[in-house]
């Protein structure tokens, strides 16, 4: 098929809508980019313990995750705004390119801090992969029908959830592959996958774009960097520096100044802002994004502890720990599929965030009770509940935000949902892992005090064979020494006598329970807030259809109100009338673009 034929096949009809085949053709390109991002997350999470051990940075591993989330968070609204200005396709291709470059750099890192810096480059690309994909779906599919297409996206996450842990564990367990250390292929595998994704997107992602002249809010982006980076850095390093140390206080001060400057710049930029202030005049928009932040805070923060628990406490390999995350994926896929069908049938949203945050609260309550002896089947059941909660929250909260914004702000609005969710996730990872490694030392010490009085532990200490073992000897010397255990490399547990290792495992399990107890308070807050969401009726028109109708209304002299809606098509109550065969959906301003 020639490029012109491909363009005709994926282009819009006269009314701005697309056929099912055209939608699937475009979605195939989006799936390629999303697979790149989803595969990276599952590979890295399952191999992170081995990577941190190899780079001797177990307690500093949060830097690698936090740096990735910081840059992904900051770049997300910038991608959204730039795609509104320059078009979705060039920005999506840019995101893939930057992500691949960052992956190649990660594959040559020589320290945990260098890895964190290169993960930051990866994050610059990742910020556009998810948000732009969701924005493009909003362009071509009506809010009410988007759930019907979620099965394709969930299939990608399902495949990556199975393939990622297997590949991550395989690479992490290899000493080397074609002369390169095995763990480095966790990142290098993204290079060929990214090249394929780039070619597919370049081929099939053909939707119209109506360029307009806009200024890019670079000052807003700079102020956002000044605000977020110091605050997230001190959240990660506060336990090392001291929360009231001069350096921590300086970071807090710079961060607050940066956030204040960001708000002032956004107000001054108006419609040109990364996050246009007029969008936040809507209570629904504000509350949905608050919930995105809170859910992201609890979700990412708590979930980062699960692989550590499974590998350190339960002794699973990276591959086994990654596969143990599959129940969560199963819960997400089932919940998303059911919710998508119900939304398409009813056009209603409110009940799903309530049920979703309720399930999250229940799962965190159960996770906070984990011990060394908690059976894996019980962990798996709780993870199904967790996935069911996430599947009902993530897409519905994004739909709330997208449905509340005019088509011309689709990129910025969708980016705001991802921005606040990722911001919450970045804070959650930094805070929760900081809590974990702040309390784990004391918990291990307390567990040793209790174990010292047990016959089994005393018998192990008096057994000459146990003491003579080099691994046990080094461990006992570290415990009795002034420096204590070095938790930057937990591989010492692999050859340790189980009786000696028990206090360490109990300490880790107790610390993980504390992390989930804090997360419980966060997701419980989300459950309370979800009751205040307004029940909305979703539109039956995609952004392309609404923009086409706007242009038609403008040509016939139809009135458009200051908010971008056709005034004649509003109900007497002032709310936009729901779309049906005889009553068109609310129209938007003719200044919008896709």
Q: Name the phi and psi angles at 454, rounded to 5.
A: -90, 145
190-204 helix and 88-106 helix, angle to the nearest 10 degrees: 170
Contact 237, 279 (CB under 8 A): no
Q: Which residues of the chain have pLDDT under 70?
A: 1-19, 46, 57-62, 147-148, 150-151, 154-155, 157-158, 161-162, 208-214, 236, 239, 301-302, 318, 478-489, 491, 539-594
End-to-end CA distance of the chain: 25
Q: Name the phi and psi angles at 566, rounded to 5.
A: -70, 120
Pair of tokens at residue 203: 């081929």
By CB atoms closer than 10 A (0-12, 13-18, 19+), residue 450 is: exposed
E-state strands within 17-65: none
Instruction: Provide the pLDDT for residue 585.
Output: 39
Contact 566, 560 (CB under 8 A): yes
Pair of tokens at residue 89: 């396709």
d(CA 245, CA 248): 5
d(CA 532, CA 261): 30
Instruction: Provide the pLDDT for residue 584.
Output: 38
Count of CB atoms situated within 10 Å of the CB of 201? 24
| Structural domains of the chain, ranges and CATH numbers in brackets | 3-217+274-440+513-530 (1.20.1250.20), 441-512 (no CATH), 548-594 (no CATH)
Among 537, 538, 157, 519, residue whose Cα is nearest residue 357: 519
62-86 helix and 218-241 helix, angle to the nearest 10 degrees: 170
Instruction: Provide the pLDDT for residue 431.
Output: 80
415-425 tens-digit pLDDT:
788 788 877 87
By CB atoms closer than 10 A (0-12, 13-18, 19+), residue 530 is: buried
Instruction: Provide the pLDDT for residue 170.
Output: 80
Instruction: Provide the pLDDT for residue 565.
Output: 45
In Å, what is the CA distance from 247 to each residue of 47, 107, 235, 438?
Answer: 33, 32, 12, 19
Contact 81, 25 (CB under 8 A): no
| β pairing state of 180-181 and 176-177 | antiparallel
Q: What angle do CA 45, 50, 52 make, to 5 degrees?
A: 85
56: region left, alpha or beta (phi > 0 left; psi from -120 to 50 alpha): left
By CB atoms closer than 10 A (0-12, 13-18, 19+), residue 505 is: buried
Instruction: Provide the pLDDT for residue 329.
Output: 79
Size of the chain, expressed as the number of residues it contains: 594
Instruction: Provide the pLDDT for residue 305.
Output: 80
In Å, what is the CA distance from 113 to each residue of 65, 181, 433?
Answer: 11, 18, 16
d(CA 69, CA 126): 9
């Amino acid at each position: 098929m020639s490029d012109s034929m491909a363009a005709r096949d994926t282009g819009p009809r006269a009314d701005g809508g697309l056929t099912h085949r055209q939608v699937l053709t475009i979605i195939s390109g989006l799936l390629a980019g999303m697979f790149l991002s989803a595969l990276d997350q599952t590979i890295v999470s399952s191999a992170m313990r081995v990577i941190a051990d190899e780079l001797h940075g177990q307690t500093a591993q949060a830097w690698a995750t936090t740096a990735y989330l910081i840059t992904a968070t900051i770049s997300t609204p910038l991608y959204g705004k730039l795609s509104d200005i320059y078009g979705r396709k060039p920005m999506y291709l840019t995101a893939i390119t930057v992500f691949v470059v960052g992956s190649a750099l990660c594959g040559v890192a020589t320290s945990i801090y260098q890895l964190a810096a290169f993960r930051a480059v990866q994050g610059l690309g990742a910020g556009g992969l998810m948000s732009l994909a969701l924005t493009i779906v909003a362009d071509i599919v009506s809010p009410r029908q988007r759930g019907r297409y979620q099965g394709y996206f969930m299939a990608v996450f399902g495949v990556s959830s199975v393939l990622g842990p297997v590949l991550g564990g395989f690479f992490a367990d290899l000493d080397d592959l074609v002369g390169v250390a095995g763990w480095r292929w966790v990142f290098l595998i993204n290079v060929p996958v990214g090249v394929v994704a780039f070619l597919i997107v370049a081929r099939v992602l053909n939707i119209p774009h109506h360029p307009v002249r806009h200024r890019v809010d670079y000052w807003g982006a700079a102020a956002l960097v000044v605000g977020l980076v110091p605050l997230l850095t001190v959240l990660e390093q506060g336990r090392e520096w001291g929360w009231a140390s001069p350096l921590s206080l300086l970071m807090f001060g710079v961060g607050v100044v940066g956030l204040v400057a960001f708000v002032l710049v956004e107000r001054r930029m108006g419609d040109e802002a990364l996050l246009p202030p007029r969008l936040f005049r809507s209570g629904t928009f504000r509350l949905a994004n608050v919930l995105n932040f809170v859910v992201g805070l609890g979700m990412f923060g708590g979930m980062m502890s699960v692989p550590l628990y499974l590998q350190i406490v339960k002794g699973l390999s990276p591959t086994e720990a990654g596969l143990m995350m599959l129940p969560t994926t199963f819960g997400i896929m089932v919940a998303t599929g059911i919710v998508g069908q119900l939304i398409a049938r009813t056009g209603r949203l409110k009940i799903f965030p309530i049920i979703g945050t309720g399930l999250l609260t229940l799962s965190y309550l159960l996770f906070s009770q984990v011990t060394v002896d908690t059976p894996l089947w019980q962990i798996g059941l709780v993870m199904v509940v967790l996935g069911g909660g996430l599947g009902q929250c993530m897409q519905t909260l994004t739909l709330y935000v997208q449905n509340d914004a005019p088509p011309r702000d689709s990129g910025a609005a969708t980016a705001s949902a991802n921005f606040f969710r990722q911001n919450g996730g970045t804070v959650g990872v930094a805070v929760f892992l900081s809590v974990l490694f702040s309390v784990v030392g004391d918990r291990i010490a307390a567990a040793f005090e209790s174990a010292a009085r047990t016959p089994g532990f005393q018998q192990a200490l008096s057994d000459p064979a146990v003491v003579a073992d080099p691994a046990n000897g080094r461990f006992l010397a570290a415990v009795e020494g002034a420096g204590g255990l070095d938790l930057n490399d937990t591989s010492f547990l692999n050859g340790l006598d189980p009786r000696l290792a028990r206090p360490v495992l109990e300490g880790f399990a107790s610390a993980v329970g504390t992390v989930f107890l804090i997360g419980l308070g966060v997701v419980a807050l989300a459950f309370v807030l979800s009751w205040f969401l307004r029940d909305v009726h979703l539109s039956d028109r995609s952004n392309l259809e609404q923009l086409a109708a706007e242009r038609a209304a403008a040509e016939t002299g139809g009135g458009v109100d200051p908010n971008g809606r056709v005034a004649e098509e509003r109900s007497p109550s002032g709310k936009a009338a729901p779309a049906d065969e005889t009553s068109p959906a609310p129209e938007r301003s003719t200044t919008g673009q896709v």
